[in-house]
Amino acid sequence: MDEATGTGLPNRPGAQRMRWKYLDNILTRHGPFTDPDWEPGEAAIEGLARAKLLGAGGLGCEILKNLALSGFQDIHVIDMDTIDVSNLNRQFLFRQADVGKYKAEVAAKFVEKRVKGVKITPYCGKIQDKDEEYYKQFAIIVCGLDSIEARRWINATLVGMVDDQDPDSMKPLIDGGTEGFKGQARVIFPTMTSCIECQLDMHAPRAAVPLCTLATIPRQPQHCIEWAHIIAWEEERKDITLDNDDPEHITWLYQKALTRAQEFNIPGVTYSMTQGVVKNIIPAIASTNAIVAASCCNEAFKLATSTNPFLGFPGTDNYMMYTGDESIYTYTFQHMKKSDCPVCGDDNIARPLQVDSDFTLQEFLDSLAERPEAQLKKPSIRSQEKSLYYQFPPDLREQTRPNLSKKLYELVQNGEEVVITDPAFPLTFKYKLVFK
């Protein structure tokens, strides 16, 4: 059946390149913005074919398609997730029958089949599973990760890999993210330009509702849902681990929230809202994902081929912000590197931080979760003098736990430096605590 599976065209001399006729117009011609020293033609074409790229995250489907049709031929993909039915409205490589399978595997197989000649190597797991040796093999890393933790981890890892003596150790990171009709694409040259940690305050976390509001004076339907989620479950179903994907669990929370809302005459609790609050669901649509992923891959293509200037070149724009709900608006600008960035800062200086000396250590640590530039969930802290609180190992945690209820002024001097770490990130934060 060989004749039936193909037209025989690819075997014709030159047919393989016929396929890239459109791309080759760009690869074989100078443009008004290309570097005069840039050599179009053979070298550019070969360079593109040789470059090994890594794609990852929720924008993976778009990224793989775009990279494959940009002429890249050796692409790796990392994704730990399995396919959920709610992915099907935008992740176009997956079908109903694929629900439950690993995303990376299904996506790699699909694109390999559709775009002949491209090799896609999937890894079904976390980006944190891989080490520097692994990341070293890539020319560019394109990420559309869903979680801020994963972004900060890959960023810190790539910054940590840079060796001044070895130019090949610097791996450009192209990052895209979306939320509803909004998104951003940015290019980072680790240690040379503003990194994800430098830009952390661009994505401030939403302020949490105080516990006392949930416990005593709920006013919004969301307060009732959070109450069911945080307080009622703990009180009534302590022995069962809450599974956000278990409909029975969501139904239980919904009914609890509804009862509480009725008690307080609060309208508006729905099943869908319960799911949204508990799972922290962010709206996501095909169009925004397409825009942001294509923007990232366009930068990767320009970077790999020198066919045009790219975002992220030191001293130029490195960030494109996109908003599509009210007409279309983009803001493309240069985000400046921060000299006190805990990841890429030149000097290892401590940032001054105003604190209330009446705060307990626990209150202070909780506040770090909400600080836009820190956003730490499991911080450990030590001062110059002593270990104040450690999450790990368990014996040190037990030993330092009593400090949590002590006031800051009992533990540190005004102006003293503290070092904070979090197991989620390979980096340390240094703060100089200044009492209010």
Q: Which two tokens stand for residue 338?
A: 């921060």
Rounded to the nearest whole angstrom, what is the least distance from the CB of residue 224 to Zn ion in the complex?
A: 40
Residues 284 and 89: their CA atoms lie apart, in Å, by 9
Residues 248 and 250: their CA atoms lie apart, in Å, by 6
**Could you say which DSSP state residue 265 is in?**
T
Q: Does 115 bind Zn ion (CB under 5 A)?
A: no
Q: Would you say 432 and 415 are in contact if contact means Cβ atoms under 8 Å apart?
A: yes
Q: Which two tokens stand for residue 269?
A: 């609790």
E strands of 168-239, at which residues? 173-179, 182-188
Q: Which is nearer to Zn ion, 344 or 411 (CB)?
A: 344
Q: Does 198 bind Zn ion (CB under 5 A)?
A: yes
Q: Would you say 301 and 157 are in contact if contact means Cβ atoms under 8 Å apart?
A: no
Of residues 208-237, those binding other proteins (CB under 8 A): 217-220
Rounded to the nearest whole angstrom, what is the least distance from the CB of residue 64 to other proteins in the complex?
A: 10
Q: Does 92 bind other proteins (CB under 8 A)?
A: yes
Three-state DSSP state, 3: helix
Q: Which two tokens stand for residue 217?
A: 């004076």
Closest CB to Zn ion belongs to which residue? 341
Rounded to the nearest whole angstrom, what is the least distance from the CB of residue 196 to Zn ion in the complex?
A: 7
The one segment of 13-21, 238-246, 366-374, 422-430 that binds other proteins by CB under 8 A = 13-21
The two beta strands, 140-144 and 173-179, are parallel
Q: Cis peptide before 393, with omega less than 30 degrees from 0?
A: yes
Q: Which is nearer to other proteins, 79 or 299 (CB)?
A: 299
Q: Which is nearer to other proteins, 287 or 387 (CB)?
A: 287
Rounded to the nearest whole angstrom, what is the least distance from the CB of residue 176 to other proteins in the complex?
A: 11
DSSP codes of every residue in 54-109: EEEETTHHHHHHHHHTTT--EEEEE--PBP-GGGTTT-TT--GGGTTSBHHHHHHH
Q: Which two tokens stand for residue 431?
A: 């703060």
The binder of other proteins chosen from 193, 288, 306, 400 (CB under 8 A): 288
- Outline where 28-141 has alpha helix (H): 42-50, 60-68, 103-114, 132-136
The binder of Zn ion chosen from 150, 195, 292, 355 (CB under 5 A): 195
Q: Does 31 bind other proteins (CB under 8 A)?
A: yes
**Could you say which DSSP state residue 19 is in?**
T
Which residues partner with 382 through β-bridges? 387, 419
Rounded to the nearest whole angstrom, what is the least distance from the CB of residue 8 to other proteins in the complex?
A: 10
The one segment of 11-19, 151-159, 162-170, 401-409 that binds other proteins by CB under 8 A = 11-19
**To which residue do tokens 């520097």 refer?**
132
Q: Does 421 bind other proteins (CB under 8 A)?
A: no
190 closest CA partner among 174, 168, 172:
172
User: Which partner, other proteins, Zn ion, none, binds residue 343 by CB below 5 to 8 Å per kind?
Assistant: Zn ion
Compute how many other C-beta atoms are within 10 angstroms of the C-beta atom of residue 65.
22
Q: Does 156 bind Zn ion (CB under 5 A)?
A: no
Q: Which residues contact 119 (CB under 8 A, 6 or more apart)?
A: 73, 74, 75, 112
Q: Cis peptide before 10, with omega less than 30 degrees from 0?
A: no
Q: Which two tokens stand for residue 141?
A: 């890393």
Q: Does 259 bind other proteins (CB under 8 A)?
A: yes
Query: What is the x/- site pattern for Zn ion, positions 342-361, by CB under 5 A?
Result: -xx-----------------
User: Which partner, other proteins, Zn ion, none, binds residue 10 by CB below 5 to 8 Å per kind?
Assistant: other proteins
Of residues 167-186, those binding other proteins (CB under 8 A): 180-181, 185
Q: Does 38 bind other proteins (CB under 8 A)?
A: no
Q: Does 329 bind other proteins (CB under 8 A)?
A: yes
Query: Catalytic pick from 61, 124, 143, 212?
Result: 212
Rounded to the nearest whole angstrom, what is the least distance from the CB of residue 338 to other proteins in the complex?
A: 23
Q: Which residues contact 417 (CB under 8 A, 6 or more apart)?
A: 350, 383, 384, 430, 431, 432, 433
User: Which partner, Zn ion, other proteins, none, binds residue 160 by CB below 5 to 8 Å per kind?
Assistant: none
User: Which partner, other proteins, Zn ion, none, binds residue 205 by CB below 5 to 8 Å per kind?
Assistant: none
Three-state DSSP state, 20: coil
Rounded to the nearest whole angstrom, what is the least distance from the CB of residue 185 to Zn ion in the complex?
A: 18
Query: What is the x/- site pattern for Zn ion, positions 240-279, by CB under 5 A?
Result: ----------------------------------------
Rounded to the nearest whole angstrom, what is the least distance from the CB of residue 338 to Zn ion in the complex?
A: 6
User: Which partner, Zn ion, other proteins, none, binds residue 7 by CB below 5 to 8 Å per kind?
Assistant: other proteins
Determine whether 212 is an active site residue. yes
**To which residue do tokens 């070293």 refer?**
136
The one segment of 88-96, 164-172, 380-388, 392-400 that binds other proteins by CB under 8 A = 88-96
Query: What are the residue numbers of the active site?
Result: 212
